[in-house]
């Protein structure tokens, strides 16, 4: 079984306190024992936007940790992401809550993770509500 990795976990590997970085490493190692771990292109872009990283740093980290990049996302992922986003927007309007808004990229990440078998993330609340059947791994 494969598992996708969210940008929160990738960033934890280099920017978090030692205990959070260690939990992220353990979660990645455990999932590698089960199959391939990967990031989708939106996660790669989010990580590149992290202020202290250069492309070469990110590429080296992904290579060193054995994380592959899914550059090509099939139509089903885009359609599932759109459907999840529409449902989220309806829930948000109905509840009139003031919690932070999510962006479409979050739903692409979730739809991609659902297609590969799971997601390692620190953001379980949002992914659980948008993708209730998604297997989540919380470091």
Domains belonging to the chain, first-starting first, are: 3-132 (3.40.50.1010)
Question: What integer pLDDT is reported at residue 109 of this predicted model?
Answer: 96
Q: Estimate the crossing angle of helix 104-116 against helix 41-48, to 10 degrees.
A: 130
The pLDDT mean for the chain works out to 90
The confidence score (pLDDT) of residue 94 equals 77
Tokens 């979050």 belong to 106
pLDDT of residue 100: 60
- Tens of pLDDT along 7-42? 999 998 887 688 888 999 999 999 999 999 999 999
In this predicted structure, the answer to whether residue 106 has a pLDDT above a threshold of 90 is: yes
End-to-end CA distance of the chain: 18
Instruction: Give the β-pairing of 37-40 and 119-120.
Output: unpaired
Specify the length of the chain in residues. 139
Greatest Cα-to-Cα distance within the chain, rounded to the nearest angstrom: 45
**Banded model confidence at residue 138, pLDDT cuts 50, 70, 90:** very high
**pLDDT attached to residue 103:** 82
Look at residues 54, 49, 46, 20 and name the one whose alpha carbon lies nearest to residue 109.
46
């Amino acid at each position: 079984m494969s598992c996708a990795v969210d940008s929160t976990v990738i960033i934890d590997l280099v920017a978090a306190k030692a205990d959070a970085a260690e939990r992220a490493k353990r979660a990645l190692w455990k999932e590698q024992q089960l199959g391939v771990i990967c990031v989708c292109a939106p996660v790669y872009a989010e990580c590149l936007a992290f202020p202290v990283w250069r492309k070469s740093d990110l590429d080296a980290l992904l290579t060193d940790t054995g994380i592959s990049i899914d550059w090509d996302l099939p139509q089903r992922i885009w359609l599932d992401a759109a459907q999840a986003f529409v449902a989220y927007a309806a829930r948000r309007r109905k509840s009139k809550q003031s919690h932070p808004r999510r962006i479409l990229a979050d739903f692409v990440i979730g739809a991609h993770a659902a297609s590969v078998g799971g997601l390692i993330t620190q953001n379980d609340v949002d992914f659980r509500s948008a993708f209730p059947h998604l297997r989540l791994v919380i470091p």
